[in-house]
A and B are shown apart, each in its own frame.
Chain A
């Protein structure tokens, strides 16, 4: 019996949930026996994407919105999709420029996407102003023989 493995997480965009999100996705990915470095990369990239949702997506909204994460394992590849239904990003290219931030007063360094790109094999961002944003992170883990 073959079944592709995945998990789905759904939680309100509260800052206190950021550590839960990175830890939960890290725990799911652990079944691929990643190295400490690989696991650290997954957690850092997820943390950046989720923090972006918390800081930006619903900042203009009266109620706290929901962040959805789907983590999927296919062979040695991991796909992590982080979705919000918030304000969206008007200029994705600009948002992805290193050091670009709209929240310097919160000491946001503008390096969120730079960290994601350095940690992942692929970062895909699709966004529609007023509709929301989906960030898809792809990781390729080297095949390891489990003892």
Chain B
């Protein structure tokens, strides 16, 4: 479902998903927007990432990975209010896919509580701050 096309920081950004996903007639409360930029993609995730929400987020992201095979996948978590180990499964699963074609994964701007879960999983090395990604442009 096409949400809209808009301009941000002078780049043309296409949001190809809608922020509220439905699953079996029930709102999962999580959303994904995919932003394409310089051969990489950023998945802007919002809401909560639990077991129920993760599967919908996974489907949305994987559809884009399969289609675009980007060199880099950035999971922008600045809008994620809650995450449990299901989010770790989500990160590791995407990392596996990205590595299969030589790409990488980074997690951008997690909140302190999300960051803690990532640290428990020993994945702190994947965290980047928003400032760094702006530099990469």
Q: Across the interface, do B58 and A107 meet the contact criterion of CB distance under 8 Å? A: yes
Cβ contacts under 8 Å, B88 to chain A: 109, 111
Q: Across the interface, do A47 and B120 meet the contact criterion of CB distance under 8 Å? A: no
The residue from A40, A51, A114, A118 contacting B86, defined by CB atoms under 8 A apart: A51
Could you jot down 8 A-B contacts, CB within 8 Å? A15-B52, A16-B28, A19-B53, A43-B82, A47-B50, A106-B89, A109-B89, A114-B85
Chain B contact residues: over half helix, strand or loop, or mixed? Answer: helix
Residue of A nearest to B90 (CB): A107
The digit string for A1-44, where 1 denotes a CB below 8 A from any CB of B, is 00000000000000110110010000000000000110011011
A side interface size, CB within 8 A = 25
CB distance from B47 to the nearest CB of A (A): 9
A residues 66-81 touching B (CB-CB < 8 Å): none
A115 contacts the other chain (CB 8 A):
yes
Show the binding face of A for B, using Cβ within 8 Å: 15-16, 18-19, 22, 36-37, 40-41, 43-44, 47-48, 51, 54-55, 106-109, 111-112, 114-115, 118
CB distance from A39 to the nearest CB of B (A): 9
If A48-B85, A115-B84 are given as contacts, then 9 extra A-B residue pairs at C-beta distance below 8 Å, sorted by A number, are A16-B24, A19-B50, A51-B84, A107-B58, A108-B86, A108-B89, A109-B92, A111-B121, A118-B116
The residue from B51, B85, B90 contacting A111, defined by CB atoms under 8 A apart: B85
CB distance from B103 to the nearest CB of A (A): 18
B128 contacts the other chain (CB 8 A):
no
Cβ contacts under 8 Å, B53 to chain A: 19
